[in-house]
Amino acid sequence: MPIAHDGASGRPAETLTASSRRVLHVDSNRDVRMTTVDLAKLHIDDFTPHQDAGFEMQAADRVVELKLAKVEPAGNSGRPGGAFSLLFVGPKGAWLPQAIYPVRHPALGVIEIFLVPIGPLGDGNGYQAIFT
């Protein structure tokens, strides 16, 4: 699904996929740059400072505000630094299906994450991502 384009130049929208492993960075001048990111190199420490922070998930028809409610280790999977889990809380209401979604944070950029609905969490809908 397209999540960014350069309307000024008329270039087509950039599509991010899980296999492309790209992060979108937008600076204050609205300059859009794409940087390749190896998702296998993300560690729990990349997310821990952002616990309780707001994230934006791009659904097919809208942006959904998420809060990173919990960051926790998930065992030793052979992944450098170990496996880890992220729990997000979204607004109450209709559940979004499990899928790969672009998730944006001001410091981390846009990362495509496979999110699974896990049931009520706090005062909203819970979604989980596991990095193994």
- pLDDT at position 77, please? 81
Q: For 22-75, how does the pLDDT look when each residue is reduced to its tens digit (9 = 90+)?
A: 333 333 333 334 443 567 778 999 999 999 999 999 999 999 999 999 999 998
Determine the pLDDT at residue 38. Answer: 65
pLDDT at 14: 36
| Spatial separation of the C-alpha atoms in residues 16 and 120, rounded to whole Å | 29
77-109 as b/e: b if 16+ CB within 10 A = eebeeeebbbbbbbeeeeebeeeebbbbbeebb
pLDDT number for residue 78: 82
What's the gap between Cα 123 and its chain centre?
Answer: 20
Q: What is the pTM of this model?
A: 0.72
> In this structure, are residues 30 and 4 in contact, taking their beta carbons and an 8 Å threshold?
no
Could you give the C-alpha distances from 90 to 19, 25, 29, 81, 100, in angstroms and in order? 25, 23, 30, 28, 16
**CA 100/CA 38 separation, integer angstroms:** 16
For the stretch 70-95, pLDDT in tens is: 999 998 888 888 899 999 999 999 89
Handedness of CA 65, 58, 3, 62 (dihedral sign): negative
pLDDT for residue 15: 36
Higher pLDDT among residues 119 and 17, named by residue: 119
> Residue ranges of the domains in the chain?
39-131
* The pLDDT of residue 100: 94
46 DSSP assignment: H
Q: How far, in whole angstroms, is CA 129 from its chain's centroid?
A: 9
pLDDT tens-place string over residues 117-131: 999 998 999 999 999
